[in-house]
Amino acid sequence: MPRATAKSSTRLARKRANKPAPARPVLHAADELMELAVDAAHSRNLPAFLERFAQRATRMLDARWGGVMVFRGRETDLYQAGADAVDLQPSHQATLIRIGRDARRKSETLPVSFDSPLTAVGDKDGQFAEVTFVPITASDEESLGCLCLIRGRGTPSQDERHLLHALASHAALSLENFRRFSQLERSKRQWVEDIDAISDYIVVHDRSFRIVRTNRSLASYLGVPPVALVGDPMSSLRQIAETRSELPCPFCRDTQQAREEYIVASPERIFLVSTSRTPGVSDDDTRTIHVLKDMTDRREAERRYRELFDSIQEGLFFATPEGRFLDVNDAMVRMLGYDSREELLRADVSTHLYPVVAERERFFSALSKRGVLRNYEETLRRKDGTLLHTLQNITAVRDAAGKIIQIRGLMLDVTEQRTFQSQLQRERDFNQKILNTTQSMILVLDTAGLISYANRRAFESGYLEHELIGHRLVDWVEAGQREDFEAALETTAHGHQVENIELRVRRSDASMGHFSISLSPMRDEQGAVNSVVVVMTDITDAVLLQAKLAHSEKMATIGRLVSGVAHEVNNPLAAILGFTDLLLENPAIPANAREDLEIILHETQRTKDIVQDLLSFARQRPVQRELVHVNAVLRQTIKLRSYDFASHGVEVLEEFDENLAHALGDGQQLQQVFLNILNNAYDAVQEVGQRGRIAIRTSQQGSNIEVAITDNGTGVTDTERIFDPFYTTKQAAKGTGLGLSICYGIVRAHGGEILCRNNENAPGSTFIVRVPVATEAATAAAIAKEAGR
């Protein structure tokens, strides 16, 4: 109870002061002690107080010099009074302090031997040899300091000793109080510093919503010193963040709650407001403390993260190892065809997303083993059941024990690429097949006309790779048509397609073929023509066939025409011939008129022959289908003309294949054909004037019987036109120009063909007649018919 002790000492001093005092200082001492107590209670400055204390003690005890020593660890502070009276040198002070520090327990007046004499100021003779020391001791017996007096008049009296104790008690009390106070000050200052060091904004307000305190962060945010805000209404802080609170404090919501925590947002900033309310002893003491934590950056980071998470085109997900999504982004929802994030979060990954549940197990075991899966290909099932091809990058999150606790992944939709890829592959295969199986040669030329590619067909046609690749295609074109080809190539190089030009091109066996050629430009990315695709089709056979078809069509039309004309001509002819005959029968006709009539008769006869030929040509007499031995027919035919041949020195050579199969046809008609050809040959060799020779050769060529009749006559001017009706090279009146046309019609009706060509390296021409060999079935049928007749 230091305070009580001190008080009692004071009371004691007072009591003493109230007693009738024998000496003035004692009466004076009571007032002094009261003043001292008042001074101690109000003093905030310890050194000044201690100096005043020293003066007061000096005065009260009538000393020449007084000092208060305060111990601070090993240091000692000395506060003194009477320095004008005593010449106290530092060495004296040191001596006093050393003794003072030893005087621990009780006050005593000691003779002190100084190193040098301690004298009064201005009086070197009077020396001070005794000093009174009064220890200042705290209530817990700690030695706080020492009161020290130099009086120069002997040992203090009993009253003076009581007074000294009272003074020492006062000093102890004051020192203790000062020490506590300064500790309090220090800790308070420390606390404020600590609060100020907090970057969160802190504001404390009272019940009437007036600011009691703010920390430095808040003040500096508002640009004022912290104290400036004290006493302001809380509403002045609305500028920090606009809240919808209707209370005078923008951060209070429910003043009945001891604690509150919520987020307020201003356009610029977002705060987490934590509020604590401390109920005071009285209502006035109630304090509300708001701590505003600026979340703006964190929220912004979170917002950015969320935005990125949702806006990214790749699917992102967090999932449990059991196969539930914890979070998925919008892309993921879209990719899997779900209506909402919530719907997808409800889905069970194994059964809903995996077409085969075992696949999910395979995935999980791969992830367990490796921890990370890069470009993991997985086929998943969309909500509507269609398949989704994905490429995933997965990371497993493990706990301390290594158990997977979460799966994080990024997912790419590669369905389109996959589909595109397989489509591309199919298309490529398809194109390759076309290229390789087409009956056309397909070549690619560079802009210089050099062949850079040839398809399989080109090589199957017999061309060798080294003949084509790197060579100019134009060199294969017939010399006379190269300009046409170059022109077409030029047109294509300018980006235009050239379709179906017909050119004669040298085949690999050096024969010339008739080709239909199309050229298409191929462009690079910039649209410039960088190569030309040439499609070449050998249409030689087609051209021949077409020519034959056109010819037979022509013949049929002429046939119908001729038939009609011939018939109409026959009526007037009948009248002319008939009346001429009747006139000639008349004996009264004069001789000269008779001659004229003879001419009419002759010419009419000739006309009749022509019409007869025309009708033969045009007649649609069906071919009799019977087995024909071609050699026999030929021999019979030759016999018909053998007299003429022999008499005109025309040699006939028979080169017959005696094993010749039967033909199926009309022997009479075939005889007409052979006779016609023989007649032509006879005429041709007759014209030449040298020894005529006609060779007749028969052979079987595949399914045809071929008869070749070769003469060494004049040859044929136009082998193509020779079968046309009315085409004749013979002099007028010698032929109608229908003979070979009739032959043509007959052979065609037999399903065969007739053609004519001039002999190579020899004069004359060769007629070839081909008629089909009778099939076994046809032969059997014909024999049966023969037997039944």
Partner 1 sequence: MSTTPILTSPILLIEDEPSVTAFLRAALERRGYSVEDAASGAEGLEKLGGREYSGVISDIRMPGSVNGAEVHAWIQQNRPDLCTRIILISGDTANSDTQMLLKQSGTPCIEKPFRVQQLLTMVEKTFGKP
**At 568, is the secondary structure helix, strand, or coil?**
helix
Tokens at 626, concatenated: 């019977």
CB of 551 to partner 1, least distance (A): 22
Q: Which of 570, 671, 679, 759 lies at the binding interface for partner 1 (CB under 8 A)?
A: 570
Q: Which of 382, 389, 554, 608 lies at the binding interface for partner 1 (CB under 8 A)?
A: 608
| CB of 437 or CB of 620, closer to partner 1 | 620
CB of 579 to partner 1, least distance (A): 5
Helices (H) and strands (E) in the chain, counts: 20, 29
| CB of 160 or CB of 613, closer to partner 1 | 613
Asked whether 759 and 765 are in contact (CB, 8 A), the reply is yes
CB of 616 to partner 1, least distance (A): 7
Q: Which of 167, 229, 558, 618 lies at the binding interface for partner 1 (CB under 8 A)?
A: 618
**At 681, is the secondary structure helix, strand, or coil?**
helix
Residue 597 has φ and ψ, to the nearest 5°, of: -65, -35
| CB of 168 or CB of 618, closer to partner 1 | 618
Q: Which of 487, 561, 575, 599 lies at the binding interface for partner 1 (CB under 8 A)?
A: 575
Bridge partners, 770 (sequence order): 706, 753
| CB of 582 or CB of 599, closer to partner 1 | 582
Q: Which of 524, 585, 760, 776 lies at the binding interface for partner 1 (CB under 8 A)?
A: 585
| CB of 457 or CB of 750, closer to partner 1 | 750
Q: Which of 163, 333, 566, 769 lies at the binding interface for partner 1 (CB under 8 A)?
A: 566
> Hey, which bits of 524-658 come out as E strands?
529-538, 626-628, 651-655
> With DSSP H G I counted as helix, E B as strand and the rest as coil, what are the percentages for the chain, rounded to 5?
45, 25, 30
Rounded to the nearest 5 degrees, what angle is found at the Cα of 268, between the Cα atoms of 263 and 271?
20
604 in contact with partner 1 (CB under 8 A): yes
Q: Which of 574, 632, 646, 780 lies at the binding interface for partner 1 (CB under 8 A)?
A: 574
How far apart CA 501 and CA 620 sit, in angstroms, is: 39
587 in contact with partner 1 (CB under 8 A): no
Cβ neighbours for 598, distance < 8 A, ≥ 6 positions apart:
584
Question: Given the rule CB under 8 A, which of 67-75, 495-503, 524-532, 611-619 is the region that contacts partner 1?
Answer: 611-619
Question: Given the rule CB under 8 A, which of 105-113, 143-151, 572-580, 772-780 is the region that contacts partner 1?
Answer: 572-580
Question: Given the rule CB under 8 A, which of 145-153, 212-220, 573-581, 763-771 is the region that contacts partner 1?
Answer: 573-581
561 in contact with partner 1 (CB under 8 A): no
Question: Given the rule CB under 8 A, which of 7-15, 85-93, 268-276, 577-585 is the region that contacts partner 1?
Answer: 577-585
**At 65, is the secondary structure helix, strand, or coil?**
strand
* Residue 151: closest CA among 236, 233, 66, 40: 66
CB of 767 to partner 1, least distance (A): 25
* Residue with the two structure tokens 């002319």: 576
CB of 586 to partner 1, least distance (A): 10
CB of 669 to partner 1, least distance (A): 12
* Residue 447: closest CA among 361, 377, 519: 519
How far apart CA 273 and CA 294 sit, in angstroms, is: 9
Question: Given the rule CB under 8 A, which of 253-261, 392-400, 576-584, 736-744 is the region that contacts partner 1?
Answer: 576-584
| CB of 347 or CB of 565, closer to partner 1 | 565
The H or E element containing residue 433 is helix 415-437
Q: Which of 278, 351, 417, 620 lies at the binding interface for partner 1 (CB under 8 A)?
A: 620
Rounded to the nearest 5 degrees, what angle is found at the Cα of 704, between the Cα atoms of 702 and 705?
115
**Torsion over CA of 343, 349, 350 and 354, rounded to 10 degrees?**
90
278 in contact with partner 1 (CB under 8 A): no
How far apart CA 492 and CA 474 sit, in angstroms, is: 14
* Residue with the two structure tokens 């085109």: 313
Asked whether 327 and 318 are in contact (CB, 8 A), the reply is yes
CB of 784 to partner 1, least distance (A): 23
621 in contact with partner 1 (CB under 8 A): yes
| CB of 480 or CB of 622, closer to partner 1 | 622
Q: What DSSP line would sit under 116-183, residue for residue?
A: S--EETTEEEEE--EEEEEEEE-TTS-EEEEEEEE-SS-S--HHHHHHHHHHHHHHHHHHHHHHHHHH
Give first-to-last CA distance, the chain, whole Å. Answer: 168
619 in contact with partner 1 (CB under 8 A): yes
Task: Determine the residue type at 108.
Answer: E
Question: Given the rule CB under 8 A, which of 310-318, 380-388, 612-620, 778-786 is the region that contacts partner 1?
Answer: 612-620
How far apart CA 664 and CA 523 sit, in angstroms, is: 59
577 in contact with partner 1 (CB under 8 A): yes
Tokens at 652, concatenated: 């006939």
- CA dihedral for 657, 662, 665, 667, sign (positive or negative): positive
567 in contact with partner 1 (CB under 8 A): yes
Q: Which of 573, 600, 688, 782 lies at the binding interface for partner 1 (CB under 8 A)?
A: 573
Total of chain residues touching partner 1, rule CB under 8 A: 26
| CB of 138 or CB of 569, closer to partner 1 | 569
How far apart CA 640 and CA 5 sit, in angstroms, is: 182
582 in contact with partner 1 (CB under 8 A): yes
615 in contact with partner 1 (CB under 8 A): yes
* Residue with the two structure tokens 């019979």: 636
| CB of 399 or CB of 585, closer to partner 1 | 585
576 in contact with partner 1 (CB under 8 A): yes
Residues that bind partner 1 (CB under 8 A): 563, 566-568, 570-579, 581-582, 585, 604, 608, 615-616, 618-622
